Amino acid sequence: MQLNLNDRVALVTGGDSGIGRAVSIAYARAGARVVVNYNSNQEKADEVVAAIAAAGGQARAIQGNTADEDDVRRLFAETADAFGGIDILVANAGVQKDAPIAEMSLADWQKVIDVNLTGQFLCAREAVRRFRQQGNRGQMRANGVILCMSSVHEIIPWAGHANYAASKGGIAMLMRTLAQEVAADRIRVNGIAPGAIRTPINEDATEGEAGKKLLELIPYGRIGDPEDVAALALFMASDAADYMTGASVLIDGGMSLYPGFENNG
């Protein structure tokens, strides 16, 4: 089966780094025109755009804080101006600000909820508005596709990360509720729940001794690469997944399989 996203316009939030970067590159390679959204690191976004262009693809870096309503409106408007519309949103931008609950500041709680959860709400809302306005643009079966980047922590509790786990649990229900609400518009909404992936924000946890310790939580015995997640995101955005909506797909080397019970508990 040949997966392609020919002529589709995809917006990847947080496309400058980690999983978002890999998704941007995979989508462009599959024929999409990609907006690589970034918040603060233009250099990294430009580097992703350059890598895509060097491989013969089309991409544009556009700044925008996904937790800011005006920025999100502008981001979608600039995406439509650049490429004539939008077909696929990958709501990927996210942050982590860890602290034990008794030490967690309200600011750190709020920041993570704002970016991870409210940011996905704002982007999904704008995408739905535009998908409805556009109707079917003639390139794919659905009238629009939304992918919500979640985490295994939408189901696995994570001590010391209450803000992050709460945001991902929220994403899971936001995604399913949205999927139910817009299915009749032929807009597909799905989630991806990655486990431990080798990305810049995870460097401390995935390298050296910490990396070895982390492997104890992964039955499959390796840490994931951003490209593992990008391959799934490509399938889920393509017409091959046209009957799929409201699903959250774990991609975690078995992290969510209660590895503590591996040897009879």
State the catalytic residues.
Answer: 164
Listed in order, strand segments (DSSP E) in 95-239 are: 144-149, 187-194
Tokens encoding 55: 């491989």
82, 205, 244, 257: residue in contact with ligand BGC (rule CB under 6 A): 205
CA nearest to 79, candidates 112, 39, 119, 127 = 127
Residue 152 near ligand BGC by CB under 6 A: yes
Distances (CA, A) of 147 to 11, 46, 137, 150, 191: 10, 23, 19, 9, 5
Span from 7-15, 61-69, 85-93, 146-154 in contact with ligand BGC (CB under 6 A): 146-154
Residue 153 near ligand BGC by CB under 6 A: yes
Contacts to ligand BGC from residues 71-100, by CB under 6 A = 96
Tokens encoding 24: 């941007």
9, 72, 189, 196: residue in contact with ligand BGC (rule CB under 6 A): 196
Nearer Cβ to ligand BGC, position 23 or 32?
23
Listed in order, strand segments (DSSP E) in the chain are: 9-12, 33-38, 58-63, 88-91, 144-149, 187-194, 248-251
Residue 195 near ligand BGC by CB under 6 A: yes
Residue 48 near ligand BGC by CB under 6 A: no
Nearer Cβ to ligand BGC, position 19 or 88?
19
Nearer Cβ to ligand BGC, position 66 or 202?
202
DSSP 13: T
Q: Which residues bind ligand BGC (CB under 6 A)?
A: 96, 151-153, 195-196, 202, 205
